[in-house]
């Protein structure tokens, strides 16, 4: 594959290059907002996307010192750089679920025990609970410490102890999405990566997206964190999320909460599905409404500026605190995000490795708000 130039200017967006440059400079200068690797893109339905790639795939040693410029791990970021999407993976899982709903294979309100059999954390749980983070399940579990391999860890998910009754509270839960992934695999008849490839990734045009980076492509990956627990050292080309990593080590396997790697063009392809402008992957109007409208109502607050659609977040905050109410998407812990306007068709994506070298060193919250302002507020959303 031939790498694209670090920045293309097919449809210039004032401020996008400054945003990307600012994040890279922030990492080098030790500011709060920063990332060594940044690709930012805005696509509108009437023209090609504007893509800006900046920085290097790694910048720091485990001690936080700058790598020498000649270090081979510190390659220039391009349009072909692969990023660990973290929880943006949930967008793909959600779209798999949406296609199964449209095909009549998944009833969002049927108890998942009817699909999986016992045990499940609560026999009242439904796919709707899992997709809206109202299942009452814990945010995460240290599954990498569970002995016995993948099946033992999947059993631990089925035995997770609920923190509240289904439907009573909104608590973001990777464990809920892992249980959802098991439901989708059972209904779809294959492991999630193959199911997602057939139902979502190929139809959307996200051709490079993968749960398993091939050895020759590890050099294309933006490095994430130096991990101590589990002791993995510099994580690059393997999923950063420890729980997802513990479930994705066997060939063909993948976790529904995190672990997908993708390029900026893959992210734009997924964003077009959310915006309703994708050519091949189109959902029914009824299912699109489930994804793009608040499913909880005033009785169940999210504790955030956004509301909860079926699998997606509804509403995007801007730098001045205003919220664009119709924008849908998701963010990822590693520093990734998709924001899409289902009415105007604009898509904004940000791919960074803000967890490099350590997860508590940098943030990209301001950059997420700014790219939404440049892309969607500027388009009149």
Q: What is the pLDDT of residues 50-70, one digit of tens each?
A: 999 999 999 999 999 999 988
Judged on CB neighbours under 10 Å (0-12, 13-18, 19+), 2 is exposed
What's the pLDDT band for 1 if we cut at 50, 70, 90? very low
Could you write out the three-class secondary structure of 275-287?
Answer: HCCCCCCCCCHHH
The predicted model gives 316-331 an average pLDDT of 97
Q: Does the pLDDT at position 8 exceed 80?
A: no
CA distance 241 to 175: 12
**More confident of the two residues 72 and 104:** 104
What letter does residue 28 receive in the DSSP assignment? H
CA distance 68 to 321: 40
Determine the pLDDT at residue 13: 85
Determine the pLDDT at residue 380: 60
Q: Does the pLDDT at position 210 exceed 60?
A: yes
Q: pTM of whole model > 0.75?
A: yes
Determine the pLDDT at residue 3: 36
Closest to 252 in 3D by CA, of 333, 196, 329, 332: 196
Distances (CA, A) of 15 to 4, 40, 46: 21, 11, 20
What letter does residue 300 receive in the DSSP assignment? S
Encoded tokens for 145: 């410490």
Cis bond upstream, residue 119 (ω within 30): yes
CA distance 375 to 70: 36
Q: Does the pLDDT at position 316 exceed 70?
A: yes
CA distance 135 to 122: 9
Would you tell me the crossing angle of helices 174-188 and 89-102 to the nearest 10 degrees? 40
Q: Backbone phi, then psi, for 333, in 5-degree steps?
A: -60, -30
**More confident of the two residues 299 and 158:** 158
Reported as half-sphere exposure (CB side, CA atoms, 13 A), residue 31 has a value of 14
Encoded tokens for 44: 């509108």
Q: Which residues contact 203 (CB under 8 A, 6 or more apart)?
A: 278, 280, 281
Q: How far apart are the first and last CA of the chain?
A: 36
The predicted model gives 342-349 an average pLDDT of 97
Which neighbouring-strand residues pair with 55?
37
The predicted model gives 172-183 an average pLDDT of 98
Please state which of the ranges 11-20, 129-138, 349-358 shows the lowest mean pLDDT. Answer: 11-20
Which pLDDT tens digit goes with each residue over 91-148? 999 999 999 999 999 999 999 999 999 999 999 999 999 999 999 999 999 999 999 9
Closest to 99 in 3D by CA, of 256, 287, 308: 287
CA distance 3 to 137: 42
CA distance 111 to 183: 10
The predicted model gives 181-204 an average pLDDT of 98
With a pLDDT cut of 90, the percent of the chain lying above it is 93
Q: Backbone phi, then psi, for 331, in 5-degree steps?
A: -115, 160
Which pLDDT tens digit goes with each residue over 265-298? 999 999 999 999 999 999 999 999 999 999 999 9
Which neighbouring-strand residues pair with 82?
221
């Amino acid at each position: 594959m031939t790498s694209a130039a670090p920045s293309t200017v097919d449809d210039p967006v004032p401020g996008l290059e400054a945003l990307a440059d600012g994040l890279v400079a922030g990492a080098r200068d030790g500011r709060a907002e920063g990332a060594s690797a940044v690709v930012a893109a805005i696509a509108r339905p009437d023209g090609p996307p504007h893509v800006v790639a900046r920085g290097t795939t790694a910048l720091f040693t485990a001690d936080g010192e700058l790598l020498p410029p000649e270090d081979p791990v510190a390659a220039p970021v391009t349009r072909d750089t692969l990023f660990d999407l973290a929880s943006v993976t949930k967008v793909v899982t959600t779209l798999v679920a949406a296609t199964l709903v449209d095909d009549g294979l998944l009833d969002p309100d049927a108890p998942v025990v009817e699909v999986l059999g016992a045990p499940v954390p609560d026999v009242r749980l439904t796919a709707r609970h899992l997709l809206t983070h109202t299942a009452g399940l814990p945010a995460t579990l240290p599954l990498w410490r569970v002995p016995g391999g993948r099946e033992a860890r999947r059993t631990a998910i089925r035995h997770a102890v609920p923190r509240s009754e289904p439907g009573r509270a909104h608590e973001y839960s990777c464990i809920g999405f892992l249980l959802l992934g098991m439901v989708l695999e059972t209904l779809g008849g294959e492991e999630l990566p193959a199911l997602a490839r057939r139902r979502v990734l190929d139809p959307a045009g996200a051709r490079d997206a993968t749960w398993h980076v091939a050895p020759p492509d590890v050099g294309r990956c933006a490095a994430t964190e130096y991990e101590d627990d589990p002791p993995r050292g510099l994580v690059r080309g393997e999923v950063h999320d420890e729980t997802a990593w513990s479930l994705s080590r066997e060939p063909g396997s993948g976790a529904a909460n995190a672990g997908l790697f993708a390029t900026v063009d893959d992210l734009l392809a997924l964003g077009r599905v959310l915006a309703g402008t994708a050519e091949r992957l189109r959902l029914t109007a009824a299912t699109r409404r489930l994804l793009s409208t608040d499913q909880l109502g005033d009785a169940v607050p999210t504790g955030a500026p956004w509301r909860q659609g079926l699998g997606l977040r509804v509403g995007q905050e801007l730098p001045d605190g205003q919220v664009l109410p119709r924008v849908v998407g998701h963010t990822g812990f590693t520093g990734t995000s998709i924001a899409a306007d289902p009415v105007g068709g604009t898509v904004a994506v940000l791919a960074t490795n803000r967890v490099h070298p350590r997860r508590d060193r940098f943030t990209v919250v301001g950059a997420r708000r700014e790219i939404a302002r440049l892309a969607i507020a500027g388009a009149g959303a």
